[in-house]
Amino acid sequence: MADELDRVSDLEMAYRERALNAHLTRVTEVVIIDGYCNDCGEAIEPARLAAVPGVVTCIDCQHRRERRA
Ligand SMILES: [Zn+2]
């Protein structure tokens, strides 16, 4: 279990770095990857964060976005 937590932590650090780089290069959509949903602010499940690299929304909001699209 500890190994898996370390791996998730490493991924999170990579995401933060990517988000920072995206911010520095001024991409059009500012995406904040901090483990919380960008739409509703709820915490995103760690399993979802690990399974979907760069995910920025919880499952509910992702479904909402897909319906809207
Ligand atoms: Zn959400």
Mean pLDDT of the 44-66 span:
91
Residue 25 pLDDT class (50, 70, 90 cuts): low
Q: Are 59 and 66 in contact (CB under 8 A)?
A: no
- Among all chains, which residue has been given the structure tokens 């998730």? 8
Percentage of the chain with pLDDT > 90? 33
Ligand 1 centroid – CA 50 distance (Å)? 17
Ligand 1 centroid – CA 60 distance (Å)? 6
Ligand 1 centroid – CA 20 distance (Å)? 21
Q: Is the pLDDT of residue 12 over 70?
A: yes
